[in-house]
Structure 1
């Protein structure tokens, strides 16, 4: 099945050569997210998919991947065009918070997809990594340090845009800050996942209408609708 999925994803790069915006959502689905938080996160992701699907430019450019970390980090959705992802995945909460392992898995997925773009001659925009957590990492310290180092190197070489988002009062903002040398991490207002993903979809839309390599200014005013500033 994995080989079939890979062939479909590679075929899509040939039939649809539009420059891509790769977005990896690295999402905390540990046990502390159970109940309303995971329900609101699911609704936010669903609305994100819906907004991208309704945008005539972004629907051909945006490629979404979802990596979750609860008991173990796993790729719930691999990179693919939105029309190749008809079903929005349902996330379930449980387990611990192996953040470092999850970010390394997300970066591996991004690097692999970038190589596929290059092999097929498809241009792409700077990849995005959205990291959301409601706690502190409790996986391998070595993996966490490796993930931070890799992320910072990519950000500083302008090969990655990272959005670290804390959920609730227990989110370790100090750890999130280590992933982001360019901008401070932000804490979500309450459970405003829908507002965040609406802002994210608008940002993806603006990026997909620009030229690869061009700097796209973020909607700072829009951030006020979902973040504690």
Structure 2
């Protein structure tokens, strides 16, 4: 799969349109990664899932930065993990700040620390934080920089079920699903949810809707990260991502 093929229609070179101008339209992409205890498990190849993820992220990030100088030049990333240490911002300066030089980073400058696995899976708190920060960033960019903003995009990756901070099962995802539906109707937000083996399908479908949920048959992290990059494109809808995941078998 070539994750960049979908970007070729947007062919302006990086020198033709700078990232920051008075009228340029910024887009916010929040990537939420499950780093709970299950990611510390050893896979069939003898490698821990979190170690494989860190290895693939090291391969993936230079591609993101390269696209950030071209097709993704208008994208700012917010990356949140939920697992070891609870919910944490790992992009930008690592603090939950929506101001300049805070948690949001242009795609061309995205860096991530080595991720650590462990703990519970506070998915609901992570999504809540993402929604709050995205809205604060939208208001900041419009007020301070007088720039237009596009509909935000959330990309959720999980291999389990949501819990509270202590690891107890929770139904807090039900009111969150209703809140997300309001966001979809009023802010043109899209949620792409990728579920790897072990994920709670009911929860992911409720949060992302059946159209926006993509269950994966295995923990192919390279494919997963490439799909995340595809889902980041401004020109991609759910069906085009579905065709990348399943080919002709549109589930």
TM range (shorter): 0.7 to 0.9
The corresponding residue for 2:51 is 39
Distance 1:65 1:108, change over 3 A: same
The corresponding residue for 2:25 is 19
Shift, 1:14, TM fit? 5.7
Shift, 1:88, TM fit? 2.6
The corresponding residue for 1:28 is 34
Q: Given the two structures, how large is their TM-score scaled by the length of structure 2? A: 0.71
The corresponding residue for 2:146 is 121
The corresponding residue for 1:67 is 80
The corresponding residue for 1:51 is 63
1:196 aligns with 2:224: yes
Distance 1:22 1:66, change over 3 A: same
Q: Any gaps of 5 or more consecutive residues in structure 2?
A: 1-17, 43-47, 92-102
Distance 1:215 1:184, change over 3 A: closer
Q: Is the 8 A contact 2:64 2:108 kept in 1?
A: no
Distance 1:109 1:99, change over 3 A: same
Shift, 1:40, TM fit? 3.0
The higher relative CO (CA closer than 8 Å, separation ≥ 6) is in 1
Decide which of 101, 104, 111 is 2:135's aligned counterpart: 111
Q: How many residues align?
A: 209
Distance 1:76 1:200 in 2: 17
Between 31-40 and 195-204, report the one with greater CA deviation: 195-204
The corresponding residue for 1:92 is 116
Distance 1:15 1:156, change over 3 A: closer
Shift, 1:30, TM fit? 0.5
Distance 1:54 1:183, change over 3 A: same
Q: Could you list the runs of 4 or more consecutive aligned residues of structure 1 that deviate by over 6 angstroms after TM superposition?
A: 214-217
1:104-138 alpha-carbon deviations (Å, 9 max, x no partner): 01111111111122112222222111111111111
Q: Any gaps of 5 or more consecutive residues in structure 1?
A: 1-11
More helix by share: 1
Distance 2:50 2:106 in 1: 25
1:22-46 alpha-carbon deviations (Å, 9 max, x no partner): 1111111101111432223334434
The corresponding residue for 1:7 is none
Q: Is the 8 A contact 1:47 1:198 kept in 2?
A: no
> Which structure: larger Rg?
2
**C-alpha RMSD of the superposition:** 3.0
The corresponding residue for 2:11 is none
1:31-87 alpha-carbon deviations (Å, 9 max, x no partner): 1111432223334434442222112323521211111111411111121113444x3
Q: Given the two structures, how large is their TM-score scaled by the length of structure 1? A: 0.78
